[in-house]
Amino acid sequence: MKKIKTDLLVIGAGSGGLSVAAGAVQMGAKVVLLEDHKMGGDCLNYGCVPSKALIAAGKQAYLMQNGAQFGVANVKPKIDYAAAKDHVQKVIDTIAPVDSEERFEGLGVTVIRERGRFVNENTVQAGETQITARRIVVATGSSPFVPPIPGLENVPYFTNESLWDLRELPKHLLVIGGGPIGIEMAQAHLRLGSKVTVIEGMKAMGKDDPELAAIVVDKMREEGMVIEENAMAEEITGKAGAITVKAKDGRVFKGTHLLMAVGRAANVNDLNLEQAGIKYSRSGIEVDDSLRTSNRKVYAIGDVAGQLQFTHVAGYHAGVVIRSILFGLPSKAKQNHIPWATYTDPELAQVGLTENQSREEHGIYSEVYRFPFDENDRAIAEGKTTGLIKVMVVKGRPVGASIVGAGAGDLIGVWALAIANKMKMSQIAAMVAPYPTLGEVNKRAVGAYFSPRLFESPRVKQVVGLVQRFLP
């Protein structure tokens, strides 16, 4: 039995764990990193990276079929699904060295490719090695949640993890789950030539602003996607190439392939958390505002911490715990400034409060300002006029922003910056956006806030009148 003593032990080499390990070792801490599967975690191997690569392939096919408005003849693309998957793998392989075992060992991290299980409050067993650490960070992420639908155990299905092994284009893909993962993969496959039916137990994109989510759903339907809402799956039957999903209300859906995309489950099993006195539930490890668990020597970050499940949140959490672990300084994680985006076409992005949330929390003090993409010159020039921005303002400061449209995931950054730094609308108004860009959408939303205050104010007109009368 090999025994190691270290300053910091990180369990899990996904986005959050790698960020903690890299930051800590470069600032002088002794670091041990455990990973029993793939370096880079879900984001690199099964999530963000491969999904965006496949979305890009689908977008290219769509553009080839929709060029007539620009004077470019529409053509039917010859789609090679296996080659599209090769593109996905090439993207993963290009990024992988940044997350590799070799790179982190080069930084000075001790990397052990074994699963970690707690022995006591500050000791973890990993294969034939026992690691005792001053502080431990659990960053084990999450996995696809597969609900216990009767019959599913007898039917072949894919999740976002196994989907990338598929090399033949599904003739008719059934997607159970109308959230971000389900809708993104549904549109990508639709554009690559599959028939697609999305089966959602409630409302598609139900966690986003309903007005903006409806714009995305309408666009999907225009492209030919079948989206069945309020269709709770009751039973699944069939075999490879012939699968049937029956909903509780009697609706029946038939397809050749099945993708389960109903959410994520925190990876808390088989860690022996009880041995370390760490409280947890099905939703994840319980943490306080500093991301500390019920065991003060142990922190949890990213998906396993039971909060927002996004790669960039895990990276943000890493910065929070590094401040506390390495410097002993108070550091708390907040959520109100965290943006997220769904990379459909059009994209859908959110930061802070939605319109409904702002009205519920701030009542009469909540104001909402809007600007449509079809009044943006760049959007008009590029035929990307489907879109809308809404900014929620309370006492002169933005508290939330919702954007649907081309580049929404990039545009939301301005509002994430503003909310994180408690900026006023006047400070955002001082920004000059280059013309013509989609970025002007943000500026025009600010203009919608100031226009009535400047152009409809009797007091402003009175002051201007007086100045003009006496100005030499």
Evaluate whether 36 touches 59 at the Cβ level (below 8 Å).
Answer: no
Whole-number Å distance between alpha carbons of 27 and 462: 60
Whole-number Å distance between alpha carbons of 264 and 283: 9
pLDDT tens digit string along 73-128? 999 999 999 999 999 999 999 999 999 999 999 999 999 999 999 999 999 999 99
pLDDT tens digit string along 196-205? 999 999 999 9
Does residue 460 surpass a pLDDT of 90? no
> How far, in Å, are 356, 386, 395, 402, 422 from residue 211 at the CA level?
10, 13, 24, 10, 26
Task: Considering only residues 467 and 394, tell me which one the structure prediction assigns the higher pLDDT.
Answer: 394
Does residue 455 surpass a pLDDT of 80? no
Percent of the chain with pLDDT over 90: 94
pLDDT score of 258: 98
pLDDT score of 470: 83
pLDDT tens digit string along 282-291? 899 999 999 9
Backbone angles phi, psi at 144, to 5 degrees: -60, 135
Mean pLDDT calculated for residue range 161-188: 97
Beta strands (DSSP E) in 89-224 are: 110-112, 116-120, 123-126, 129-138, 142-144, 172-176, 195-199
Evaluate whether 35 touches 113 at the Cβ level (below 8 Å).
Answer: yes
Neighbours of 60 (CB within 10 A): 15
> How far, in Å, are 216, 379, 414, 418 from residue 437 at the CA level?
22, 8, 14, 20
pLDDT score of 88: 98
pLDDT score of 461: 81
pLDDT score of 282: 87
Tokens of 137: 């960070």
pLDDT tens digit string along 232-261? 999 999 999 999 999 999 999 999 999 999
pTM: 0.95
pLDDT score of 463: 82
